[in-house]
Structure 1
Amino acid sequence: MILSPGASVASLLPLAATSVVALLAYLLAGLGRQADWRGGALVIGWVAHAFAIVVHGVGVGEPAPGARFGFAPALSVTLWLVLAVYAIESRFVPIAGVRRTLALLGAGAVSLALLFPGELRAHGGSPWAPLHWVLGIASYGLFGAALLHAALLRRAEQRLRGKPVAGEALPAPDALPLLRLETLTFRFVGAGFAVLSATLLLGWWFADPWRWDHKAVFSVLAWAVFAALLAGRRAFGWRGHLATRWLYVGALLLLLAYVGSRFVIEVLLLRGTTQ
């Protein structure tokens, strides 16, 4: 575990305990051979993952009131939200061939959050800051769900054209129809765009003064790409590879806005100062 400034081994024990349970459960869900175990293991991992996120969010075990922020906790919450979408949606519509991948991604996210727990920030400052952070992470989760559906859409298109599909193939009889997948993809894009818009408006409103730093620039660029994608789909019927390319570009810019900048600060520059 890589300790951040002000962190102690004792203060990170609650995070370590919940993270290890989540990690083992995710690995069992992703690598286990017994199909009956994998579903239950994924649920256990998701619940333990939620406890680890709460430990981060409320600062359990920390010497002072506060919460830990950083690139790894942000990725951890994002993957947890994507798994939540998968868990809910899979109860109503068939989503095959992604459980193992999501379980292994969850294991990776939990491991990163354990290795890089982030910087402890004391409670205080603007009362709108927590809402701003929650909305920002929610937009990450919604766009993550959109990317998941875009990947499923691409695999379904490859199967329909008779092309080989890398990894575990989607069972054709149980696969979602292409139009349904496309509709779900853009519903998540639209929801993510609305939440991202609220995040930027809230940040602009309570920031004094507003700074055009790396996070702001990349966030606004991502917002512009998603706005162009939704406008292009409505006006010109964008779909297929053209639409997914715009989605990938916007998601990459959004990832660079917070996760990328914090990764550079925390890992490459080895700094824990608030940016």
Structure 2
Amino acid sequence: MHPLLPSLIAAALYATATAYQAFCLIGRKAPQMRILLPLGMLALIAHISGLLMQMITPSGLVLDFFDAASLIAAAVIALTLLAGTRIPVTNLLLLLLPLGCLTVLLAQFAPAGTVQGINEQPGILMHILLSVLAYGMLTIAMFQSLLLLLQDHQLKHKHPSGLIKNFPPLQTMESLLFGFLWAGWLLLSLSLISGWLFLDDLFAQHLVHKTLLACVAWVIFAVLLWGRHQRGWRGHKAIRWTLAGFCLLMLAYFGSKLVREFILHI
């Protein structure tokens, strides 16, 4: 089967789930999980199926810029759907499902960059998996921080929208944010350790910028978590640190891939 078909199915299902959630938001009612979660799961299965068909080639694992974005989006949605069965995070799907729709289409139709097949040794694959999960979890934390910022702003100005009225209490939203940050930081730590163990040279010319920026992002998240534990940091300070760490992390990965694949062509 050509990867285009499952990718188009995934995009259509993501769009349908987004429209359903938006319709519920306009009607000021919570979406029914028995409708939203199956739509999201079917879209995710089609998304991953098409992506694997495109990435796994005879020359190895091909992970270009848009494939990587699509893979991380799939990981983010999978983690959110899984978490949504236990904790109140389904409002995040209103932001994440359109992201899944966009990235799955870009992976199919955007021009591919110059990228070589990846050596499929178990250690390298484990490093890639840990990196994707770390980026995914910290992406969820970033979106959670944006929703927390919106919720805080609307509550202070006393005009909560329909979306905000469906949110958990502010304290719960903040606790969820730091839960995602702890999980993402631990995964990022394991990713950096696995890179040091299994990559030939973590500070080689084509990796040095990625490594340094990822390490700086790791430090920022570590300081934020320390500040939360020792100083009780919360609110806008926590949100600013979260966004700063996320921007550095995305610049580390996607910035370096963008330059290498589309500017330097290496």
Alignment TM-score > 0.5, same fold: yes
Task: Say if 2:195 is the partner of 1:203.
Answer: yes
Aligned partners of 2:137 and 2:93: how far apart in 1? 18
Q: TM-score, normalized by length of structure 2?
A: 0.83
Task: Say if 2:147 is the partner of 1:157.
Answer: no
Deviations 1:99-142 (A, max 9, x none): 44322111111122112455564463754111111111110011
Where do 1:12-91 residues align within 5 Å?
14-31=2-19, 39=36, 40-57=38-55, 59=56, 62=57, 64-91=58-85
Aligned partners of 1:97 and 1:209: how far apart in 2? 41
Q: Looking at secondary structure, tell me which structure has more helix per residue.
A: 2
Aligned partners of 1:132 and 1:159: how far apart in 2? 41
Return closer, same or farther for 1:28/1:131 CA change in 2, 3 Å cut-off. Answer: same
Give, in angstroms, the shift of residue 244 of structure 1: 0.9
Map of 1:266 onto structure 2: 261
Where do 1:223-238 residues align within 5 Å?
223-238=218-233
Which stretch of the first structure deviates more once superposed, 107-116 or 243-252? 107-116
Give, in angstroms, the shift of residue 207 of structure 1: 2.9
Amino acid at match of 2:134: S
Map of 1:245 onto structure 2: 240
Aligned partners of 1:127 and 1:92: how far apart in 2? 32
Aligned partners of 2:23 and 2:157: how far apart in 1? 30
Which stretch of the first structure deviates more once superposed, 133-142 or 64-73? 64-73
Map of 1:176 onto structure 2: 168
Amino acid at match of 2:48: A
Aligned partners of 1:53 and 1:38: how far apart in 2? 25
Aligned partners of 1:135 and 1:20: how far apart in 2? 28
Aligned partners of 2:119 and 2:94: how far apart in 1? 40
Aligned pair count reads 252
Deviations 1:122-173 (A, max 9, x none): 46375411111111111001101111221222222123223557xx74252x
Q: TM-score, normalized by length of structure 1?
A: 0.80
Contact kept, 8 Å, 2:188 with 2:218, in 1: the verdict is yes
1:124 to 95, 98, 119: 119
Q: Percent identity among equivalent residues?
A: 30
Amino acid at match of 1:202: S
1:185 to 168, 177, 194: 177
Return closer, same or farther for 1:195/1:86 CA change in 2, 3 Å cut-off. Answer: closer
Aligned partners of 1:94 and 1:129: how far apart in 2? 34
Q: CA RMSD in A?
A: 2.7
- Secondary structure of the 1:14 match is coil
Map of 2:28 onto structure 1: none
Which stretch of the first structure deviates more once superposed, 44-53 or 34-43? 34-43
Aligned partners of 2:220 and 2:116: how far apart in 1? 31
Return closer, same or farther for 1:243/1:262 CA change in 2, 3 Å cut-off. Answer: same
Amino acid at match of 2:249: L
Return closer, same or farther for 1:30/1:97 CA change in 2, 3 Å cut-off. Answer: same
Which stretch of the first structure deviates more once superposed, 32-41 or 134-143? 32-41
Return closer, same or farther for 1:96/1:42 CA change in 2, 3 Å cut-off. Answer: closer
Give, in angstroms, the shift of residue 185 of structure 1: 0.8
Return closer, same or farther for 1:159/1:91 CA change in 2, 3 Å cut-off. Answer: farther
Map of 2:29 onto structure 1: none
Q: Which runs of 5+ in 2 are unaligned?
A: 25-31
Return closer, same or farther for 1:43/1:237 CA change in 2, 3 Å cut-off. Answer: same
Contact kept, 8 Å, 1:126 with 1:206, in 2: the verdict is no
Contact kept, 8 Å, 1:72 with 1:259, in 2: the verdict is no
Which stretch of the first structure deviates more once superposed, 131-140 or 99-108? 99-108
Aligned partners of 1:209 and 1:94: how far apart in 2? 42
Map of 2:107 onto structure 1: 113
